[in-house]
Amino acid sequence: MGSVHDLPVIDFSSSGTTEWNSVKSQVQEALEEFGCFKALFNKIPQDQLQATYKAVEELFDLPVQTKMLNYSPYPTHGYLGRLPAAPLYESLGFENAIIPEEAEKLTNILWPQGNPNFSKTIQAFSVSVSELEQLVKTMIVQSLGLEKYKDEIMNSTNYLLKVVKYDVPKTGEKNIGMVSHEDRNLMTILHQNNDGLEIQTKTGEWIRVKTSPDSFFVLTGESLEAWTNGRVQPAPHRVMMTGSSEPRYSIALFSFFKAGYKFQAPEELVDKEHPLLYKPFDFGEFLSFSGSQMRSISNITLKTYCGL
């Protein structure tokens, strides 16, 4: 792990029991201190990664009216763009993108004649990143001594693949790509083609995440804070388009508890020093009620919604 001024970097490329235990404790330490870390994960070949970025560029090249067909009943899970607070930002979301039929169904809305290459590419990418998400989740439940909840957690998780494009700011335009916020889901695993993502540490310092082809940035969200009864807290993050000469793309897999699954922190994490922070809640209902997947953008906090 790096110095106080660096974000932790954790290598997931080797396997074996010794490595597993070492990586597991690095994960827990990083999450408790920063709520995030950079994962070196080489299970996605470079040509697959390049094909995914190519597919994403093709998607953003579609006319705005077409992109707007990407609708989700959940706020911020479908097409978003031209927002006054984020004029450089545009995103689309693919719910359950790890399931081939779902990826295809959403693809066919955008390309009624079909685009099997696109749906297969984003589905394969989502599956690979979901494997990393499941490794991290397994390590968290093991570190907390809560492995008995692992299957329930795994079976209650859904995934959304969100792809984002940030335009280069024009002269005189603000360079904020996305304002500071924390995510509300369980975990977000993000790959970027150019630097731009910045993380705020607990001491208030902003750190810019360095891009490399095999690095995936793991951020935890408010739902994990609730499930761990405050042990892991999400880090504020933002995107600054500083010194860019070309658009920036990021591809992020969001995991969250399925709508209809009411959850609360396991009783093992509740005691005198750690009183229960939140009443049981359903993430789908909370998302609909709060109006945004991003804390700090919506005025409704989890504390006001179901805090104790």
Ligand X SMILES: O=C(O)CCC(=O)C(=O)O
List of residues contacting Fe ion (CB under 5 A)? 183
Residue nearest to Fe ion (CB): 183
Shortest Å, Cβ 92 to Fe ion: 15
For β-strands 206-208 and 80-83, DSSP reports them as unpaired
Report how far residue 198's alpha carbon sits from residue 90's, in angstroms, rounded to the nearest whole number.
18
Burial of 2 (0-12, 13-18, 19+ CB in 10 A): exposed
Minimum CB separation from Fe ion for residue 183, in Å? 4
Q: How far is Cα 18 from Cα 92, in angstroms, rounded to an integer?
A: 40
Q: Which one, 254 or 261, has the nearer CB to ligand X?
A: 254
Secondary structure (3-state) at 299:
coil
Question: 140 or 187: whose CB is closer to ligand X?
Answer: 187
Q: Which residues bind ligand X (CB under 6 A)?
A: 162, 164, 178, 183, 190, 192, 196-197, 237, 239, 250, 252, 294
How many Å apart are CA 98 and CA 222, to the nearest integer?
Answer: 23
Non-local CB neighbours of 66 within 8 Å, separated by 6+ positions: 110
Q: Which is nearer to ligand X, 31 or 294 (CB)?
A: 294
Partner touching 162 among Fe ion, ligand X, none, CB below 5 to 8 Å by kind? ligand X
Which residue, 24 or 162, has its beta carbon nearer to ligand X? 162
Cα of 280 vs its chain's centroid, Å: 22
Q: Evaluate the CA torsion angle 65, 114, 92, 87 in order and state its sign.
A: negative
Closest CA to 213 of 251, 163, 160: 251
SS3 28: helix
Residue whose CB is nearest to ligand X in the complex, by number: 250
Q: Which is nearer to ligand X, 144 or 209 (CB)?
A: 209
Could you tell me the smallest distance in angstroms from the CB atom of residue 110 to ligand X?
20
d(CA 113, CA 110): 9
Q: How far is the CB of 202 from Fe ion (least distance, A)?
A: 17
Cβ(296)–Cβ(235) below 8 Å: no
Measured CA to CA, the distance from residue 71 to residue 218 in angstroms comes to: 26
Residue 291 Cβ vs ligand X, minimum distance, rounded to whole Å = 15
- Residue 232 near which of Fe ion, ligand X, none (CB within 5-8 Å, type-dependent): none
Q: How far is the CB of 73 from ligand X (least distance, A)?
A: 18
Work out how close the CB of 156 gets to ligand X at its nearest, in angstroms, rounded to a whole number.
21
Choice between 23 and 294, CB closer to ligand X: 294
Closer to Fe ion by Cβ: residue 8 or 221: 221
92, β-bridge pairs: 163
